Amino acid sequence: MSSTERNADVILQAHRDKFLWKLENLPQRDSTFQLAKETLNYLRRVVLIGKYDNIESAVAVLREEGSLIYAANKSEFVVRNMVLFVLKMMRDEWYRLKWGVDALCNPYDSLNKLWLSDNDNKKKVSAAALKKGTIASIKEFIEEMNNCSDNMCKQASDHILGGDTIITLKLNEAHTLKEFILAARKVNKGFHILQVSDKDEVCDLGGETISSCDVFRAMCVATRVVISACAILPDGSCICQAGTLNLCLAAKSYSVPVLVICAFYKLTPKFIPNSENCQFENCPLNVLDAKDIEKYENINVVNPAFDLIPANLVSLYITSTSAVKSAHVYRLIGEYYHPEDLYDSSW
């Protein structure tokens, strides 16, 4: 192994250790957007520094890195999503370099097209060209992520009207949701906001703050519930911050529509059959001060991080391009993920 290769391995290991340390030692959950960008920046270094000479070895390198970083914190589904995104970008770039821009590169095309495709093309694809094209695709993807929030906010006035009374949850902890409601207020200023929060710190958007115990009582005057999600699952269900399930159940009792704000990078190609499979917990100190620990002996403080919201409780998903019903979420899988990567059940 040459000195250049050894230096590249040392640099990549340093970036890997730094990223793994952050995933394993997060004092509190970062925003999904920020974590997605940091994951993409790390994977961009893997693509640039990693050693591979064909598409098979490149996919193997990315899968190995993906398994490592996802195992560090399995509660962050967006980390796995970013790995799968980059895998599809690399596969698409390989198809483009091998067969040209107009070549068949859609894995979901019909069997007739696949049968007639030029599979005998023996053109070699250099690793340097594959790296350059994949890195350019990652940069373009990050730019699309930066514009995602603005594109969703442009639809805000279509979903929140002037006479509405909306209920939302922990608005100060959801940046995209806050921007969405602010965009709606610029056009329709007459709607009323009820923020559900059990903390003293709330987002200053006017309206009224209620505790989680008063959700069912307040739902009788609400016209819609607007929340954000951490992950969107293919069956139309979603994973949201803890406390959202009670809000959605109350909304169903009063037939109040539930709108979920979701960016495309939160679409998670993973089925979770029940809530027991996503029982991740936050630090107990977030709900119980350290100074009060001595007062309560021999207790187990459970502070769940997420709620699994079934598809039948969600009325509409608002994405960066359109509004989608929960029953149609699975159709978006083919746009962002490659089927060969979805069949790998090792992680």
For residue range 155-178, list pLDDT tens digits in order. Answer: 999 999 988 999 998 887 788 898
C-alpha 244/C-alpha 228 separation (Å) is 9
Say if residue 195 is in the same domain as residue 222. Answer: yes
C-alpha to C-alpha distance for 172 and 170, rounded to whole angstroms: 5
Residue 200 sits in a domain of what CATH number? 3.40.50.10470
228 and 304, same structural domain?
Answer: yes
The pLDDT score that the predictor gives to residue 121 is 47
Please give the average per-residue pLDDT across 318-323, as a whole number.
Answer: 89
Q: Tell me how many helices (H) and strands (E) the chain has.
A: 12, 10
CATH number at residue 90: 1.20.120.420
pLDDT tens-digit series, residues 284-299 = 666 667 676 677 777 7
The total number of structural domains in the chain stands at 2
Instruction: Give the end-to-end CA distance of the chain in Å, rounded to a whole number.
Output: 31
pLDDT at site 347: 59
Two structure tokens written together for 34: 């920020």
How large is the average pLDDT for residues 64-91?
91
Same domain, 25 and 71: yes
The model carries a pTM of 0.85
What's the average model confidence in pLDDT over 214-220? Answer: 92
Last residue of a domain, one of 96, 123, 150: 150
Q: Do 220 and 254 contact (CB within 8 A), yes or no?
A: yes
Domain that holds residue 327: 154-336
- For residue 258, tell me if it sits in a domain: yes
195 belongs to a structural domain: yes
Mean pLDDT of 48-76: 89
Top pLDDT among 190 and 7 is at 190
At residue 201, the pLDDT reads: 59
Least confident of 67-76, 117-126, 313-322: 117-126
| Residue 303: per-residue pLDDT | 73
Single residue among 150, 178, 210 that ends a domain in this structure = 150
pLDDT tens sequence across 100-157: 765 545 555 555 455 455 554 456 778 889 999 999 999 999 999 999 999 999 999 9
pLDDT greater at residue 346 or residue 255: 255
User: Is residue 347, in this structure, part of any structural domain at all?
Assistant: no
**Position 168 in a domain:** yes
Position 342 in a domain: no
